[in-house]
Each structure stands twice: as structure tokens, then as C-alpha cells.
A and B are shown apart, each in its own frame.
Chain A
């Protein structure tokens, strides 16, 4: 093989490179003559470029002036841009293999390639150079439907979509219907019947609201500045949330933001910069907050916000200690469970589980048809939920309505029946579990004198003992699937004061019934479709081009598959998300990390401010969601108005919620106005293989369907614009466009070989064919129930976390299901809030807190909204507001809804569809009341997720008529040794609203 570094090779390649570089100006000119788009591009900049290859002394220069390109003679000081190559060999190597990003990165990291000059010019030159490849640089994408209509493809939280566009305007957004060339569907054979899903993707209702959201009158179309904010004079932080805004130019906005970043770093250090976003974002691996935003924030340095495991809470802080699964935040895997459930199960217990409303987060209505199959097979269904939810309403079956925040008492009552009537799997308990005797003693009342009988639980739950006994007998004598939460361990009851103990008991109940045996498992057909789990495509939590190995799942696959510059945050100060207002106000706070690496990851307490770090002075907020989603959210309004917070910038698509508290507003565009790439329901590390809740794996090229509206820009572009002002543009972008990054991600996935980039770009999606039956993932827990080594396709737990040998047993210390947790015994055996054994600990805000309960006698549950995705699709003048079960139009205003029992309402003089005030010591919200028997007396239901925060007086200290229920929910942790939200623990009172009553 030729040694490129030999002197002979150097001479030859030197001559070749010299000639080639000299021909560059001519190549630019020729291309410009052929393509007018290229000649227009050449006219964009007047710059000089110098290229040096040091080891052979080559220096070539060229000048771009008024659209003309000519060779030039330049010294290093005069060149606008200077590319420096260490040696000819590197240049030849990189040239011989285009797209060798690993090679480029290695050369950069070892300074064999370097570049000097303003980022903007460097990026422009690199992009122009790339356009020298054949063609005019335009790309063909989308499907011509005739009549001037083009069909593009995009993706959303609620499913993939076709986007019909005419004359640059979106006409309609529809679900995707598969064609014959798309990947084949699977078939499940169960009980003599065959089930195949429809050849289409479903979408959530809110997705149909997108067009009205994209063209909403509440879109931020221009950069804005708060009228009484002057970075060089009076900042008036006390007026945040009250003052109006004025339009400014992008240059003005970017200069202010970049200037403030620089100033704060200089005055306080980078730790004084706080960045926070919602948990979710517009779909796509490149633009996602875990990708572009993370890379930018790492580039400038900032205090990282630790998200609490908000969807998992009880599972993360509780269940994990009994069955492991730390990588899934304590929830269960669900492989193969759809087939197993349809073939074997006799009953499904939905416990705080409403997949028809919550869609398993990203599952749209994919699970609906599967539950309809189950119903048609005669599988019995039981729904335990204080609300007669939509899953119960659609499928029927027994509805059992416990008082909120008491479910664990019912679980213990069930265990009591199983123990006393011998209705559990003794052999399984003996072989696969530890600590049962202690739990049994507790259940029977041997340790505390209180037998946990169905009658005992009645006083807690208000559910008649006979109903619980009947349920326990059925459950204990037939093969039962338990669906605790909308997925297997998710949402609902795990997010309340008793949620940790409840989730722990759910594991114990399954341990008693032989988890993993045929027909005995967790789930409700929402997840576990037999799609191809061997085909690799990343999910959004795998970090896109973030370069962040610490806070995304990048290192698992994509860092190797899509080499990229690493981005490391120099700031080690971290902030618990639930304590952001206190952190801003300069208080000392503490938290526990959401570290899914191991069971012990959550025990490592941290504090803020971190030693040697500045408290927060600059807040870079992404979107406006916290008022509608975080507990006691008036805290945020108060924090925003503190003078400790010197600067607030909000990068948002819409003018709503917290965006109205910013000093500078940067208008971001939606994912329909930029490029991205992503697979439906693939969230990567947040829920490994989550796409198995879809009936088909749908991977989409997210077309740029229309131009960004107004002056809005993509998040990527905004970060790049700022990065360029801070001299970080090359590092941030690697001189790539968003489309370049999509291509790099495509190349890093398993898509090449199945479909060409050109085909994929044109059609916009790829359906991964269902695998051969022999290649379907095995059923979760089956290996464990049968005492075999682990065979489901997940790389967790870490090899070191197995006790006996790799893939043998669970992640727990014993390797078994533990009734008494060994990790909790090690960590805090005497913690009264979380003893090693799951017990019933009454809620700290419930019917046992007598004084408070007398004042606020109603339990409020605030599940996820059905017609919005958190705050994303609410408000904004969208058509979603017209859904009468979402908001209700009263006297010209769309009010958020509270549902309450008819008797409760009658006693308070409240009429159907009338306005009420719901309040407690934390705040007050004005709502429209819907009266119903879907709730027991004493319980009220109002979803979280209002995008509108509209205080009737002082922000933070007056009733909100926007509907931010979280104004009322507590901000404290579920238990002290956690970082957790108890959003379904909330006592309130409701009264008729009397206008003017706010005074």
C-alpha cells in the first residue's frame, strides 16, 4: 500500500494538490456560468480565502468579489478566511473519501486541519465548496399530487403525517396511508383468529389542529423586546409579565442576547446561565432540544437543569428498588406482550390507565384496534381510576373508583385476599422472589396490628370491601395483565403522595402472580407490537448532533455511528427542575439525580449553588410551558419578576405562557418550516424501543414543507446565529446545514441498504417491514419466570450490575424480585417515607390531614389533557379550543374545564357549564364546570397543560383565568429523598365564580 507520508508521495501529491487548488476559482466560475442559483450564491459575499498546506509549502488564495471569483495573492494577515492543513497526506485522505466525518474530526482534533476567520464566512465557503459537486444544488422532494399540490411528510408527537402544500401554503394535514411498496405488516394468530393492523398510521386529535397552530395569530413572527427593558439602562424586571413588547431586528436581538451571554459570563462565570425547556419539543432528531439546544448550551457553558422523572416518579423512586429496570426509569419492558396477551390473558386490569386519552405518550390510536381485538376475544376488563376514563367508556368492563392518592391501600387489600385465600403463585414466590414473609406479616397485620383487609382499605379508598375481594378473587384465579399507568409503569397514580408506595406494591402484586408466565404480565396492549427491533434508527433522546455524552443517550450508538464533535459543558452546577424558581431567587436547594444508569444513581444528593459557582442571573428559556405543567406555578411568575434575574430570553414559536415574561423574544419556527429526520414514537433512551407501541415502524424524512413564517427561524439557525456572534459557529455547526445533519444521521442509521437517500428524501418515509415470526422479540419477563438468561433485546442492566453473571437475574442485589428492597435497606433503612418494605403511608395532603381537608375537601386529579400534548396544542387560537371537552366558550372566552360530581356541584350551587373558582392556599383558577357522574363525590378532575396563563391581577398573586391548574398543585417532593412531582395530590375547594370576586 502507498505510504502517503513518504517523501515521494508528498512530492507527487503536493504537485497534484497545487494544481487542483489553483483550478478552484475556475471551477467556481464554470459552475456559476452553468447555474444561475450558484452565480447568485457567489455574489452573496465579498471575501478572500487562503488555503495553506504546511508540509509542502503550498499557499493558494482566491477572492470573491461582486459575484466574480479570481486567484489572488494574499498573506495570512489579509485573508478573511484561512484554511490550514498540516500535511498533504491528510488532504488527500480526506478528499479521497467524501463524507468521512470521522476522518475530518480526527484531523481537526489533532490540528491537522485548522481554520481561522469569522464563522459566517467559513461556513459560507465550506457550503459553497460542497455545491461544486454535480447538479445545481436543488433537491427533489415531495410527491406531486397534481393541481399544483405537493404532498410532503412530517412527524409529530401524535404520529407521522402527510402535508399537502399549494402555493407555499399548507392545505391540509392527514394521517399516512401506506402503499403497496411500504413494508409488510405483521399478523398475530390467537385463539383461532388472525389479527393484522390496518395499513395506515393513526394520529392524535391535536395533530389536526396543527395547521391552525402554524398559522396562529399568536405566532411570534418577529424578534421582540420588552418595551421597558434596556440592557444598557433600566431593566425593570418587576414589570416582566405585565409590559408590552416592541418589534426589533434580528441583528438587534442577537446582539443583545450574545452581549448578555458575554457580560454574564464575564461578571459571574458561565454557571450563572440557566437554560430550561419543556420535556418535549417539535419532532425530529436534529432540531430536538436534546440535540441543537444541548450542543449550543454546552458550547457557551451553562448550569444544567436536571429533569425529575416526571412521567415515572413512583416507578423511578419506588418500583426500581424491587425489580430493577433503572434504564427504563423503573418501568417495565413490554416486548412480545401484545401477542402473549391476545393469546393467553383472561383479564386486563387497567389501574390508573387510560391509553385512549394518553396514547402511551406517542402511540396515537395504534393500541385502540388491539384493545378492540381483545374485547372481541372476550378478555375481561377492569378499570381502576377515580375518573370513568375514555378507555373504560370505549371498552366497557367494571369501573372501580378509589379516592385519589389511596390506591396503595387497595393493592394491600388485594394482597390480603390472595394470602388468606391462597390465590397466589407460591412456587414462583419461593423461587423468584425474596422478602415475601416480611411483606406477608405486614399485610396480615402481624407487625403493626392492622390486617390490611378489603374492609380496612374501604375507609381509605371508599371502594366497598366486597368489590376489592371480588376483584382479588378473579385476579388470583385467572391469567391477568396489569396495566399500572397508561404504559407499563407511567403517569397517573405514580404521581401523587402515595405514588411511590403504590408503584412498589404493583411490582409486589405481579411478583405474587408469577410475572412473565403466559398471560401474566404488565401492559394493556398499548406497547409490545411484534415489529422489527433489530433494525436500528435512533430516537430523540439519543442526542442527535448534541455531541453530549453525559446528558443524552449519544454514547450508546450514535457517537460511533454518526461521529461528531463532542460538546462538554464546563459548568458542573446542576439545578433540580422543580426548584428553578427558588434557585432564581437565590435560595439554597437540593435534589436527587434522575440517573438511569443504576439503581443507586438516584441516591447521590446534590446542592445548589454548587461550590464556587454563581447563582443564576441569566435565564435562556425555551418555550412557554412551565406555568401549565409545573407545581405551584405562581412561583415562576414571582421568580421572573426578581431583580436577581438580570436577563431573560425566550426562544418560542408562540407568544404564550412564560414567553410573556421575557426581556427578548426570539421567534422560532415549527418543524414544518425546517428540515429534520425522525422515527415515530422513538424517544430513544427515555423509553427504550418505545416504537414498539406502533403497529408499524415509520421513519420519516421531515420535509421542510413551507418557508418559515414571518421572520421566524429554525432553532438550529438561531443557535448558529448566536454561536457565530460568540465565535462558536464552526464548532456548533461543523459547517453543516440542517439538511446535512439529516443526511449524516440517515447514514448513521440502518436505513442505507434498505432505501437510498434520494428515494427517502423524495418519498419522505420508510416503513420497516415486520420481521419473520422467528425474529420477533421474546415476551418480557418470560426468561425470568422460566429461570433462563435474559433474552429480550435491551442492553440493560449494565454488565457490572448483574450479581451472578451477565444476563442472569435482575438488576436487584439478589437478582430476584424483592418484596423487601435491598437497595433501600442499604441507603436509608429507617426512612419513614420510604421503608424497605412497601407499606401504606397516608397522603400528606389528603383526608387524613384533617385541618386542611376541612378547608379544602375535594381531591383534584390533573391528568394529561386528551386534546393537547401538555401545552403544545392548547390556546394559540387553534381549532382545538372548539372541542367542548377541552375548553368551553363562555361569554367570549375559552375557559379550561373542571369536571365534578353532580352532588358536589349541587351542594355548592354550581350549574353545568358555569364558571367556578377553584382554589387552595397556593392560588386560584377560574374554570368552566362540567357536571358528571364519571367521578365519585369528593373528587374533581381538571387536566394539566394549559398554555394560557392569564392572571386577573398581579402575576403570581391573583386568580388565573387561563386554566393553569398547576397554580394549585404542590411543588414539594413526593418524599424528601427524591426530586419528584406529586401533581395528583391536591386538595381544593370549588365555588361559583362571581365576576369581580378577584378583588
Chain B
């Protein structure tokens, strides 16, 4: 049986919210019998876009992480649901609105906060992966259709094929998922943009009266005296070492010009940091 899974590229998400809004267009005020009751006009985020700003002005970047229901393989909500939540053979996890009526405790069952409470209807609700559309012949759910950048995509194939893609494309699950239950079936590409840290800086030097950017200097990143990365400062004298785990401790930066180490500094990485301009 082919299964569905989300594959989301953080590197391509620009926070346009087309996914979030198309989800509302599909589900607010529309009942899909056998799948879901209508989403309230306000409040729910079946596709919740988290964001993370990294660094300090002016060396920053920002990442957006669209988070739908993870459609977990070992979904805690299914376990807690006592028949009110179903994991279909194709991987889609659905809450039965009739059976789940009044079951507010299901919200707490989800480790990812993906279930929302509909006060008026007294039902827990979440992303259905637009199963009513997929079953009707659509190839993708509304959010994927609406995505203009290719950040959101849907996988539909064999489990083994999915495993292979996870390896080939270095896909990862939510950073917190390792500690949580469920085996999420929502995979992220370029997740480091959200989950990891960078060290960035700018190199400058005095040339007579004025200051210039230092272009093409070698910048080394060391951890425990080992060189872990090396790059040249760019046309603006900037460097940026990315994909460092948060709270990963002390690093050393070495600036090398003409084969000589001209500057060394030590940085304790808690989260992304932009060092102030380094005047050589």
C-alpha cells in the first residue's frame, strides 16, 4: 500500500502563508462528511508556521517551519483515541468527528500541538491531509497546491522509497521529535536553518585614513583544537559558519592572512551569534 508523507523544504519557505490560508479556505465553513467538520473561522492553525530569526543585526537570517499534523506512524492520538482516531493504511491519521465529540483530552495526547479544539462543535480537529480530496482524485492537498516556491510537497509511494529519500536528501523530523513519541511522517529538508546555529562576522582593515572590507581572508572554525570548517571571507568581508548545534559550547575562530594567523577569538555557541566587526 502506498503511503502519504509530507516533505517540506525549509530553505524554500518564505512565510507567504498560502498553505495556512488555503487550508482555511478548504475547511472553514465546509463540512467534509466522513472526514472532518468545519474548522472555526478563527483560531485554529492546522498548518502552523513557526519562525526563527537567527543572529544579530546586520548579520541575520530567518527560517520558517510549516508544521501540519505529523501523521505519525505510531500516533499517540490514535492510541489515546480508543477508536476515535484512525490511522489509515495510506498513512493518513483522521479524527472521527462523531466519535471524538467532547474528547478535549485528545489535544494533550499530541506531542506536537497539532490538534485544536472546536469549542462550538465540541470536537478536537486537525489537518486531514485533505483526505477527502485525495480520495476524490486530487494528487496533492490544498496546502501543497497553493505553495508557490516548492517548499511543500507530498510523498505518495512505498515505505522503502520514502526511507531512501530520507537518506538521499538528508531529510529530518522535527528537532523535538527525537524526544517525543509518534514517529512523525512529516520530513524536513534544510532543517538546520531552523534548528541549528551559525557564527557570522565581518572582517575589516584600515587602509590609510579609511576602512575597507577584508576580502578573501581564510577563516577557520575550530572545535577542541580541530579544524571543523574553513572558508574565505566574501566580497564584503563576511563569513558565516552554519549548521552548528545549539548549545554546542566553545569554538575558536582563526583569521589567516598570507599564511599567518592574524586574529583568534573564542565563542561559546548557545545560539546563533554575529560577532561585531573584526578590524584586522
Binding site for B on A (CB under 8 A): 171-175, 177, 202-203, 205-206, 208-212, 215, 356, 364-365, 368-369, 372, 380, 388, 390, 393-394, 396, 398-401, 454-455, 464-467, 469-471, 474, 866-867, 877, 879-885, 889, 901, 932-937
Our pick among B21, B42, B43, B58 for the contact of A208 (Cβ within 8 Å) is B21
A937 to B57, CA, bound (A): 9
Our pick among A171, A365, A470 for the contact of B235 (Cβ within 8 Å) is A470
Q: A175-B145, A208-B24, A879-B21 are in contact. Are A935 and B57 (CB under 8 A)?
A: yes
Our pick among B16, B41, B213 for the contact of A365 (Cβ within 8 Å) is B16
Report if B108 contacts A (CB, 8 A): no
In the bound complex, do residue B215 and residue A879 qualify as a contact, i.e. CB atoms below 8 Å apart? no
Q: A205-B21, A368-B148, A879-B24 are in contact. Are A466 and B204 (CB under 8 A)?
A: yes
- Least CB separation from A367: chain B residue: B148
Our pick among B41, B49, B55 for the contact of A879 (Cβ within 8 Å) is B41
- Least CB separation from A145: chain B residue: B136
Q: B46-58, CB under 8 A of A: which get 1 and which 0?
A: 0001000101111
Residues in B20-35 with C-beta less than 8 Å from chain A? 20-22, 24-26, 28-30
A448 to B25, CA, bound (A): 60
Report if B246 contacts A (CB, 8 A): no
A932 to B235, CA, bound (A): 26
Most buried by A among B15, B43, B213: B15
Number of chain B residues whose Cβ lies closer than 8 Å to a Cβ of chain A: 46
A883 to B237, CA, bound (A): 37
Our pick among A203, A467, A933 for the contact of B57 (Cβ within 8 Å) is A933
Q: A455-B210, A470-B237 are in contact. Are A215 and B18 (CB under 8 A)?
A: no
Residues of A within 8 A of B164 (CB): none
Report if B268 contacts A (CB, 8 A): no
In the bound complex, do residue B237 and residue A466 qualify as a contact, i.e. CB atoms below 8 Å apart? yes
Residues of B within 8 A of A883 (CB): 17, 20-21
Q: A365-B149, A398-B238, A470-B235 are in contact. Are A879 and B25 (CB under 8 A)?
A: yes
A172 to B45, CA, bound (A): 18
Most buried by B among A208, A209, A455, A932: A208
Q: B5-23, CB under 8 A of A: which get 1 and which 0?
A: 0000000101111101110
Q: B162-186, CB under 8 A of A: which get 1 and which 0?
A: 0000000000000000000000000
Our pick among B30, B60, B210, B211 for the contact of A172 (Cβ within 8 Å) is B30
Residues of A within 8 A of B53 (CB): 932-934
- Nearest-neighbour CB distance to chain A for B134, whole angstroms, equals 15
Residues of B within 8 A of A365 (CB): 16, 148-149
Residues of A within 8 A of B126 (CB): none
Our pick among A364, A388, A867, A877 for the contact of B62 (Cβ within 8 Å) is A388
Report if B142 contacts A (CB, 8 A): yes
Our pick among B25, B62, B150 for the contact of A173 (Cβ within 8 Å) is B25
A369 to B14, CA, bound (A): 13
Report if B84 contacts A (CB, 8 A): no
Q: List 5 A-B contacts (CB under 8 A).
A: A208-B22, A208-B24, A212-B29, A356-B16, A365-B148
Report if B269 contacts A (CB, 8 A): no
In the bound complex, do residue A470 and residue B15 qualify as a contact, i.e. CB atoms below 8 Å apart? no
- Nearest-neighbour CB distance to chain A for B7, whole angstroms, equals 17
A228 to B53, CA, bound (A): 52
Our pick among B42, B43, B61, B237 for the contact of A393 (Cβ within 8 Å) is B61
Most buried by A among B15, B21, B142, B145: B21
- Nearest-neighbour CB distance to chain B for A13, whole angstroms, equals 59
Report if B146 contacts A (CB, 8 A): yes
In the bound complex, do residue B236 and residue A398 qualify as a contact, i.e. CB atoms below 8 Å apart? yes
Residues of B within 8 A of A934 (CB): 53, 57, 60, 62
Report if B161 contacts A (CB, 8 A): no
In the bound complex, do residue B211 and residue A867 qualify as a contact, i.e. CB atoms below 8 Å apart? no
Q: A393-B62, A881-B42 are in contact. Are A205 and B16 (CB under 8 A)?
A: yes
- Least CB separation from B64: chain A residue: A393
In the bound complex, do residue B25 and residue A933 qualify as a contact, i.e. CB atoms below 8 Å apart? no
In the bound complex, do residue A466 and residue B24 qualify as a contact, i.e. CB atoms below 8 Å apart? no
A833 to B25, CA, bound (A): 50
In the bound complex, do residue B17 and residue A466 qualify as a contact, i.e. CB atoms below 8 Å apart? no
A202 to B18, CA, bound (A): 10
In the bound complex, do residue A933 and residue B142 qualify as a contact, i.e. CB atoms below 8 Å apart? no
Additional pairs, 12, CB under 8 Å, beyond known A172-B30, A388-B62, A464-B277: A172-B25, A174-B22, A369-B148, A372-B12, A380-B235, A454-B210, A466-B204, A469-B210, A471-B236, A879-B21, A879-B28, A879-B42
In the bound complex, do residue A474 and residue B57 qualify as a contact, i.e. CB atoms below 8 Å apart? no
Q: B229-251, CB under 8 A of A: which get 1 and which 0?
A: 00000111110000000000000
A368 to B150, CA, bound (A): 10
In the bound complex, do residue A171 and residue B30 qualify as a contact, i.e. CB atoms below 8 Å apart? yes
Report if B105 contacts A (CB, 8 A): no
A41 to B42, CA, bound (A): 44
Q: A202-B148, A934-B60 are in contact. Are A212 and B28 (CB under 8 A)?
A: yes
A934 to B53, CA, bound (A): 8
Binding site for A on B (CB under 8 A): 12, 14-18, 20-22, 24-26, 28-30, 41-43, 45, 49, 53, 55-58, 60-62, 142, 145-146, 148-150, 204, 210-213, 215, 234-238, 277
- Least CB separation from B18: chain A residue: A205
- Nearest-neighbour CB distance to chain A for B185, whole angstroms, equals 25
Residues of A within 8 A of B49 (CB): 884
- Least CB separation from A206: chain B residue: B21
In the bound complex, do residue B61 and residue A467 qualify as a contact, i.e. CB atoms below 8 Å apart? no
In the bound complex, do residue B210 and residue A867 qualify as a contact, i.e. CB atoms below 8 Å apart? no
- Least CB separation from A210: chain B residue: B25
In the bound complex, do residue B60 and residue A933 qualify as a contact, i.e. CB atoms below 8 Å apart? yes
Our pick among A175, A368, A937 for the contact of B149 (Cβ within 8 Å) is A368
- Least CB separation from A217: chain B residue: B41
- Nearest-neighbour CB distance to chain A for B170, whole angstroms, equals 18
Our pick among B43, B57, B211, B235 for the contact of A465 (Cβ within 8 Å) is B211
- Least CB separation from A365: chain B residue: B148
Q: A880-B21, A932-B53, A934-B62 are in contact. Are A474 and B235 (CB under 8 A)?
A: yes
- Nearest-neighbour CB distance to chain A for B108, whole angstroms, equals 23
Residues of B within 8 A of A175 (CB): 145-146
A155 to B148, CA, bound (A): 18
Residues of A within 8 A of B21 (CB): 205-206, 208-209, 879-880, 883
In the bound complex, do residue A394 and residue B14 qualify as a contact, i.e. CB atoms below 8 Å apart? yes
- Nearest-neighbour CB distance to chain A for B50, whole angstroms, equals 10
In the bound complex, do residue B29 and residue A466 qualify as a contact, i.e. CB atoms below 8 Å apart? no
Residues of B within 8 A of A208 (CB): 18, 21-22, 24-25, 146
Q: A211-B25, A212-B28, A879-B24 are in contact. Are A364 and B210 (CB under 8 A)?
A: no
A388 to B56, CA, bound (A): 12
- Least CB separation from B204: chain A residue: A466
Residues of A within 8 A of B210 (CB): 454-455, 465-466, 469
In the bound complex, do residue B24 and residue A396 qualify as a contact, i.e. CB atoms below 8 Å apart? no
- Nearest-neighbour CB distance to chain B for A476, whole angstroms, equals 12
- Nearest-neighbour CB distance to chain A for B57, whole angstroms, equals 4
In the bound complex, do residue B57 and residue A882 qualify as a contact, i.e. CB atoms below 8 Å apart? no
A880 to B17, CA, bound (A): 9
Residues of B within 8 A of A933 (CB): 53, 55-57, 60
Residues of B within 8 A of A400 (CB): 58
In the bound complex, do residue A470 and residue B213 qualify as a contact, i.e. CB atoms below 8 Å apart? yes
Residues of B within 8 A of A210 (CB): 25
A983 to B12, CA, bound (A): 32
In the bound complex, do residue A470 and residue B236 qualify as a contact, i.e. CB atoms below 8 Å apart? yes
A545 to B25, CA, bound (A): 34
A747 to B234, CA, bound (A): 58
In the bound complex, do residue A390 and residue B235 qualify as a contact, i.e. CB atoms below 8 Å apart? no
Residues of A within 8 A of B14 (CB): 356, 368, 390, 393-394
Residues of A within 8 A of B29 (CB): 211-212, 215
Residues of A within 8 A of B30 (CB): 171-172
A879 to B30, CA, bound (A): 14
Our pick among B45, B56, B213 for the contact of A467 (Cβ within 8 Å) is B213
A838 to B25, CA, bound (A): 50
Residues of A within 8 A of B236 (CB): 398, 467, 470-471
